Structure 1
Amino acid sequence: MKQYRIDGAEVQGIADLYEQFNRELMADEDWFLGQSLDGRNDVLYRVDGEVRAGQPATFVWTDHAHSREALGSDATQRWLQNKLSQPNSFNQQRIQADLDDLQNGAGKSYFELILEVFADHPLIDLQIR
C-alpha cells in the first residue's frame, strides 16, 4: 500500500500545503502542482488509477486541527481576493459570491474545499488525525 503523509503542523498557509503535496505526489515528475484545486483533483485521479490497478493509497493527515486553522477563513479570504485581482483569469462573480459567503459565515474554508476534493475520490483512504 502506498502511503502519503501531510504534516498539518507544517502547514502555515496554502503554499505550505501544496509544498507537501508536491513532495508526496510529484517526486517522480518533472513538473510541480500549482496552487489549484482543479490541479489537485487531477493528480488524485492519477492516484485513483493506481488504486484501480491494485495499488491501494492512503493519505495520513496528522495535526489536522492546525491545518484547519491555518487554512481557515483568513487564508481563504486572501486566496479569493488574489483571484479577484486577476479579472481575466477567474469568474469574478462566482469568486465574489464565494468571498461574500465566507465573510458572512456561510462559505467554505480552503481546508473544507481540500476535503471536498478528497471526497471526490472514494478509492483513496484519507485518514485525518
Structure 2
Amino acid sequence: MQSYYIDGAEFKSLEEFSEHFSERVRLDHKWKGGLDALNDILRGGFGTPEEGFLLVWLNSEQSRIALGYPETVRQLQARLQRCHPAHRDGVTIELEAARMSCGPTVFDWLVEIIQDHGPAGSESEDNVVLTLR
C-alpha cells in the first residue's frame, strides 16, 4: 500500500493544509480546501491510488491546535458569506457553537472525512487508512 506523510508542523489553516496535502499526496490537480472535493479525492483518481493508501499525519496534535476553534470560526464565517440562503441558519448555529468552543473543529472535520474512507467508515471500499502521530 502506498504511504503518504503530511506534517502538521507545516500548516496552520485549512488552506495551508489543502496545499500541503496536495503536494505530499502528489495530486493531479491542486485541491483548494473544499470538503466535498476532499471526499472525491479520497475515492481515488485525482492522483491518489485507486487501491487506497496509508496517510500518516505527523505532528497531529499540533494540527489539532492550529485547526481548532479559531480556525473553525474563520472557516464558518467564510462559509456563511457564500452559502445558499437556505443553509445560513444552520451555519450560523455552527458558528455560534464554535465561538463558544463547542462542536467539531476543522481538524475534526478532516479526520472524520478521511476516516470515513477507511476500515470502519461508510466508504471503506476506498481503503484509505489514517494514522495520527
Q: Which residue of 1 aligns with 2:104?
A: 108
Does the CA contact (< 8 Å) of 1:8 and 1:63 recur in 2?
yes
User: What RMSD, in angstroms, separates the aligned Cα atoms of the two structures?
Assistant: 2.1
Does the CA contact (< 8 Å) of 2:115 and 2:129 recur in 1?
no
Q: Letter of the aligned partner of 1:17 in structure 2?
A: F
Q: Letter of the aligned partner of 1:5 in structure 2?
A: Y
- Tell me the CA shift for residue 86 of structure 1: 2.1
- Tell me the CA shift for residue 90 of structure 1: 7.9
Rounded Cα–Cα distance in structure 1 between residues aligned with 2:38 and 2:86: 17
Q: Which residue of 2 aligns with 1:63?
A: 59
Unaligned runs of 5+ in 1: none
Instruction: Please state whether the residue corresponding to 2:50 is helix, strand or coil.
Output: helix
| Residues 1:4 and 2:11 aligned together | no
Unaligned runs of 5+ in 2: 119-126
Q: Which residue of 2 aligns with 1:34?
A: 32
TM score, norm. by length of structure 2: 0.82
Superposed counterparts of 1:1-129, under 5 Å? 1-27=1-27, 29=28, 31-46=29-44, 50-51=50-51, 56-88=52-84, 91-122=87-118, 123-129=127-133
- Higher relative CO (Cα under 8 Å, sequence separation at least 6) belongs to 1
Instruction: Please state whether the residue corresponding to 1:12 is helix, strand or coil.
Output: coil
TM score, norm. by length of structure 1: 0.84
Paired-residue identity, %: 28
Relative to structure 1, the CA distance from residue 93 to residue 46 in structure 2 (aligned partners, 3 Å threshold; closer, same or farther) is: same
Aligned length: 123
- Tell me the CA shift for residue 2 of structure 1: 0.7
Q: Letter of the aligned partner of 2:42 in structure 1?
A: L
